[in-house]
A and B are shown apart, each in its own frame.
Chain A
Amino acid sequence: MENKTEFAEIWDTLSRVNVNEYTDTKGENTQLTYLSWASGWDILMRYYPQATYKYLPRIKYPDGTEEVICVVDIEGNSREMSLPVMNYANKPIANPNSWQVNTAKMRCLVKCIAMFGLALYIYRGEDLPDEDKTVEVNVIDKDLLKLEQAKKKDKKQVFETLFKEDKINEKTSPTQLAKAIRTS
C-alpha cells in the first residue's frame, strides 16, 4: 500500500514537469521531439536524487536485432522498459555495434523514466504535459525559487542580485524565469 501511494506521488510530481526547454528534435522528413538522457537524468535528480537504474540482459532475436531493458528505481518504486536497438531512422539494427547498443540503452533510460511520468507527453506526440495545457511550469532552479518566492516589491532587488552573482545568465531557462517573476 505504501508503494502505491509513492508511485502516485512520483507520478503527480513528474508528469507536471514541463521539459520543453530541454527537448531537441531529430530527423529530416519527420521531426521527432526527444529529451536527451542527460537532461532527463538531470531533471530526475532534482526531484529524486536517490533514484537508480540498471539494465537487464539484452534480448537477442533470430534476425540479429536486439532489445535493451532498463529498470529505474525511485525510492523503492521500480519500473521496467525495453527498447529495440535502432538506427537514426528508428529501424531495428541487426548485429548492432557497441555504440548503437549504448545509444539504445540511454534512450531506454529516458523512456523508462517517462514511465514514472516525466516527459511522457512527448511520447504521446503532444506539445505540453497532460495536465499542463496552460503551460504550468515548475520552478526547479533553486536560485529562481528565491525569486519566485520573493514578494512583489522585492522581486526587482532579488533579480538584480541573482544576475550580479551570475545565477541568472544566458543559460537560465526563460520559461522558468517567467514563472519566477510572475506575481499573481
Chain B
Amino acid sequence: MKKQAQPNSQKRYELHSSQFINIAFGKYTNRCDMLLQTKNPSLTPEFNDFAKNRMNWGSEHEIDGVSNWLIRCSNGKYPKFTLDDQKDFLLEDFDKNDETTVALSSKPDGLSDDEKTIIEIKCPNEGGKLKDDFDKTRLPQIFGQQLVLKHNGYPIEKTQLCEWTPNVFRVWEIFPDEKFEEHLLNLLKEFSNCLLNGGDIDPKPKRYGGKYETYEKLFEVKIK
C-alpha cells in the first residue's frame, strides 16, 4: 500500500490486490491493524527472515514459471506486461471524499497477448511440495486483479494461476465469479470507508458463505 501526495494535496491511499486477503478478510493481519498500517506505513512490521526467503525464492523463480507458461499455455504468443515489463494497473477513486481518495491497484505477473488471460505465477513454499488442492487464500488477490483489469478496459475471461516448483508445474484456471466479486467489493468498500471516515471495522469477517466453483485444474506436469 503506497500513500502518494497529490498535486492538490488530497490524500491518496492505494490498496494493492496482493493485500486483499488481509484488507478484506483479515486473514494474516487483521483489518484493524491493516487500517493502522495503511494510514501510517511506518507501522508495517518488517518481514521476518522466513518470509523474506520465501519472497526471494518467488522473485528468483518467477521466470521459471513464465518459461513453463510460454511452452505449455501461450499458444506461441508472448504475453504483454511480463517479467521486467510488468505494469501496475489502477482503479482510481474507488472511494473518496473531499480530502481523501482510495485507489485499488494490481500488478499481475503477465497478461496474455489477447488481453483475456491474467497470468499469475506462484513459486510456493521455497520449492517444497505443493498443496494437493487449490489454495483458496489466493482468490481475493485473483478476483481483485480481475476487477482492476476489467475496470481498465481489458476483456478478462480468466486467470491462469501457475504454480512452479523445481519438480512440478501446475496450472489452475480461475474464471470471474460475480458473487464473490460482489462480496469482495463490499468488504473493500467497508475498509476504504473506514479509511476515509473512521469508525469500527470487523477485524476478521466470517468466511465467504458462497461456493467457489469457478476454478479448475488445467494440468499438472512433472518437471524432469
Nearest Cβ on chain B to A169's Cβ, whole angstroms: 7
Report yes or no: B67 in contact with A175, Cβ–Cβ below 8 A.
yes
What are the residues of chain A within 8 A of B63 when measuring CB–CB?
Answer: 178, 181-182
- Selected contact of A160 from candidates B67, B71, B78, CB within 8 Å: B78
- Selected contact of A24 from candidates B68, B76, B224, CB within 8 Å: B224
Count residues on chain B whose CB falls below 8 Å from chain A CBs.
Answer: 19
- Selected contact of B74 from candidates A24, A135, A155, A163, CB within 8 Å: A163
Count residues on chain A whose CB falls below 8 Å from chain B CBs.
Answer: 24
Determine the distance from Cα of A148 to Cα of B63 in the docked complex, in whole angstroms: 14
Interface string of B50-90 (1 = CB under 8 A from A): 00000000001001101110111010111000011000000
Tell me, yes or no, whether A183 is within 8 Å of chain B by CB.
Answer: yes
Nearest Cβ on chain A to B35's Cβ, whole angstroms: 38
Nearest Cβ on chain A to B205's Cβ, whole angstroms: 40
Interface string of A166-184 (1 = CB under 8 A from B): 0011101011011001111
Report yes or no: B84 in contact with A175, Cβ–Cβ below 8 A.
no
Report yes or no: B71 in contact with A178, Cβ–Cβ below 8 A.
no
Interface string of A45-71 (1 = CB under 8 A from B): 000000000000000000000000000
Known A-B contacts A21-B224, A181-B83, A183-B84; the reply to A174 vs B67 at CB < 8 A is yes
What are the residues of chain B within 8 A of A182 when measuring CB–CB?
Answer: 63, 83
**Would you list 12 pairs from A and B whose C-beta atoms are within 8 A, ordered by A residue?**
A22-B224, A23-B224, A135-B60, A172-B71, A174-B68, A174-B71, A174-B169, A175-B64, A175-B67, A177-B67, A181-B70, A183-B84
Write the residues of chain B forming the contact surface with A, with a CB cutoff of 8 angstroms: 60, 63-64, 66-68, 70-72, 74, 76-78, 83-84, 166, 169, 223-224
Q: Which 7 A-B pairs have CB atoms at the shortest separation, nearest pair first?
A: A163-B76, A178-B67, A156-B78, A177-B67, A174-B67, A178-B63, A174-B68
